[in-house]
């Protein structure tokens, strides 16, 4: 048989992709360590927008990543009081990502944008609320190792997280009710347009 010629295919429609129609877009995927990496994918010019529209959830990853950064930093600097130049222990990263997916520790690689467990913003709000209690607990206990200390912090966070989740849900409910009222006002068309605007990072 003839030799295999590599043909570029579109990531969206899987059809042949000529150089002149090609757009390369980085797609954010989450690695094992919880850090985001962008993988470049090739699209037809017409396909990239369809892809983004259909995968809106995954593009929320961008927002999630910055929220995860805040969770990571707060837990490292304010809860465990580790210095800036030290990485958060793997065990802590796994426990925090576990809260995100609603498990003790996540076993799937892609933990982001999963609609179960708690959002990173809920986790962050809970950590801030619980930190005084965590610091008090740290002072009254001796720890054999870091894992033990992390488990105590997670125990206190777990104790409060459902309460915080409920509070946030109620606030969002009130906000969405307010928005419904706003939608009935004639000035709203302009407002919607503005918020729907999206920036593409074509390379
Ligand atoms: Zn295509």
Question: Tens-of-pLDDT digits for all 203 residues of the chain?
Answer: 455 567 888 888 888 998 888 888 887 766 667 676 778 888 888 888 778 777 766 666 667 778 888 999 999 999 999 999 999 998 999 899 888 877 776 655 555 555 578 888 999 999 999 999 999 999 998 888 999 999 999 999 999 999 999 998 898 888 888 776 665 555 444 444 444 444 444 43
Strand segments, DSSP code E, in the chain are: 22-30, 36-44
Lookup result for tokens 């954010």: 28
- Residues 90, 95, 97, CA angle at the centre, nearest 5°? 95
User: Which residues crowd ion ligand 1, with CB under 5 Å?
Assistant: 10, 12-13, 44, 47
Place of tokens 């690689």: 109
Place of tokens 């369809």: 50
Distance, in Å, from the CA atom of 201 to the CA atom of 3, rounded to the nearest integer, reads: 36
pTM of the predicted model as reported, rounded to 2 decimal places? 0.58
Quote the CA–CA distance of 97 and 119 in Å, as a whole number.
10
Structure tokens at 70: 């805040």
> Across the chain, how many H-helices and E-strands are there?
7, 2
CA of 23 to the centre of ligand 1 (A): 10
């Amino acid at each position: 048989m003839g030799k295999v010629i590599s043909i570029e295919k579109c990531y969206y429609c899987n059809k042949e992709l000529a150089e002149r129609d090609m757009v390369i877009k980085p797609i954010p995927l989450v690695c094992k360590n919880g850090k985001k990496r962008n993988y470049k994918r090739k699209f037809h010019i017409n396909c990239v927008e369809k892809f983004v529209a259909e995968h809106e959830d995954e593009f929320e990853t961008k927002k999630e990543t910055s929220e995860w950064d805040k969770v990571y930093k707060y837990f490292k600097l304010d809860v465990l009081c580790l210095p800036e130049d030290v990485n958060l222990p793997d065990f802590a990263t796994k426990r925090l990502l576990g809260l995100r997916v609603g498990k003790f520790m996540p076993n799937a690689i892609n933990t982001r944008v999963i609609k179960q467990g708690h959002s990173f913003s809920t986790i962050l709000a809970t950590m801030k609320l619980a930190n005084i209690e965590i610091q008090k607990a740290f002072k009254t206990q001796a720890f054999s190792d870091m894992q033990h200390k992390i488990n105590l912090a997670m125990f206190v966070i777990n104790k409060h997280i459902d309460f915080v989740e409920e509070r946030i849900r109620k606030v969002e409910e009130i906000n969405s009710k307010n928005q419904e009222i706003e939608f009935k006002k004639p000035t709203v068309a302009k407002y919607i347009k503005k918020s729907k605007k999206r920036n593409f990072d074509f390379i």
